[in-house]
Amino acid sequence: MKSSRNPAFQPAAPSAAASSAPRKSGASNPDYMTRDEVLAILGIKPQTLYAYVSRGLIHSVPQPDGRSSFYVGEDVERIRVKSAARAGFGAVAASAMRWGEPVITTGITLITEDGPRYRNRLATDLVRAGAPFETVADFLWDGTWIDRPAGWTAPDTPAEVVAQLSGTAKLRGDPHLVQLMILSLGLLGIFHGSMKVRIVTGATPTQLARQAIRTMAGSFGFIAPRRRFVPLRAGEPVAAGLARALEIEPSAAALAAINAILVLDVDHELTSSTFVARIAASGGADLHACMSAALNTHFSDTIGCRADRVEELFDARSDAAGVITKVKTLVAAAQRVPGFNHPFYPKGDPRAALLIEIAREVGGKNRRALRSMLETVDLLQSEFGLRPSFELGSVALCRALGLPPQTASGLRSLARTAGWVAHIFEQRLAAFMIRPRAKYVGAGSTG
Same domain? For 67 and 189 the reply is no
CA 444/CA 344 separation, integer angstroms: 35
Cα separation, 177 vs 225, whole angstroms: 14
Residues 133 and 239 in one domain: yes
Cα(42)–Cα(323) distance, integer angstroms? 34
8 Å CB contact between 363 and 325: no
The verdict on residue 372 lying in a domain is yes
What does the alpha-carbon distance between residue 430 and residue 250 come to, in Å, rounded to a whole number?
41
Alpha-carbon 247 to chain mean position:
24
Whether residue 104 lies inside any domain: the answer is no
Which of 64, 96, 128 is at the close of a domain?
A: 96
Pair 413, 316 in one domain? yes
- H helices then E strands: how many in the chain? 21, 6
> Domain holding 410: CATH number?
1.10.580.10
Same-domain status, 398 and 292: yes
403: in domain? yes
What CATH number should be reported for the domain holding residue 90? Answer: 1.10.1660
Q: Are residues 69 and 143 in the same domain?
A: no
Exposed, middle or buried, 102 (CB in 10 Å: 0-12/13-18/19+)?
exposed
Residue type, 35: R
**Sign, CA torsion 414/415/418/422:** negative
Q: Quick one: how far is CA 216 from the chain centroid?
A: 17
pLDDT tens track for 60-112: 887 766 667 888 888 888 787 777 655 554 555 555 555 555 578 899 999 99
Q: Specify if 102 maps to a domain.
A: no
Domain boundary among 96, 121, 155: 96
Confidence (pLDDT) at 149: 85
Residue 288: Cβ within 10 Å count: 21
In a domain? residue 140: yes
Sequence-ordered list of residues with C-beta below 8 angstroms from that of 16, at least 6 positions apart, any chain: none
281 and 194 belong to one structural domain: yes
Q: Are residues 155 and 301 in the same domain?
A: yes
Please check whether residues 90 and 114 belong to one and the same domain. Answer: no
Whether residue 184 is found in the same domain as residue 155: yes
User: Do 1 and 385 contact (CB within 8 A), yes or no?
Assistant: yes
Q: What is the structure's pLDDT at 94?
A: 54
Alpha helices (runs of H) in 129-237, residue ranges in sequence order: 133-142, 159-168, 177-192, 195-201, 205-218
Residue type, 7: P
Residue 257 resides in a domain = yes
Count: domains in the chain: 2
Which pLDDT score, from 0 to 100, does residue 98 have? 55
Q: Is there a single domain that holds both residue 326 and residue 382?
A: yes
Q: What backbone phi and psi angles, to 5 degrees, belong to 261?
A: -60, -45
Three-class SS state of 69: strand
Of 96, 130, 147, the position where a domain reaches its end is: 96
The whole model's pTM is what? 0.79
Q: Which domain holds residue 87?
A: 7-96
Q: What is the residue-wise DSSP string for 290-321?
A: HHHHHHHHH-STTTTTHHHHHHHHT-TT--HH
* Amino acid (one-letter) located at 417: T
Asked, for residue 404, whether it belongs to a domain, the answer is yes
116 and 247 assigned to the same domain: yes
> What phi and psi, each to the nearest 5 degrees, are found at residue 109?
-140, 135
Phi, psi angle pair for 350, to nearest 5°:
-65, -25
Q: Is the dihedral of CA 44, 49, 52, 58 positive or negative?
A: positive
Taking a C-beta distance cutoff of 8 angstroms, is the pair 265, 415 a contact?
Answer: yes
| pLDDT lower than 50: segments of the chain | 1-29, 89
Same structural domain, 91 and 124 = no
Q: 301-351: per-residue pLDDT in tens? A: 888 899 999 999 998 777 888 999 999 898 888 888 999 999 889 889 999
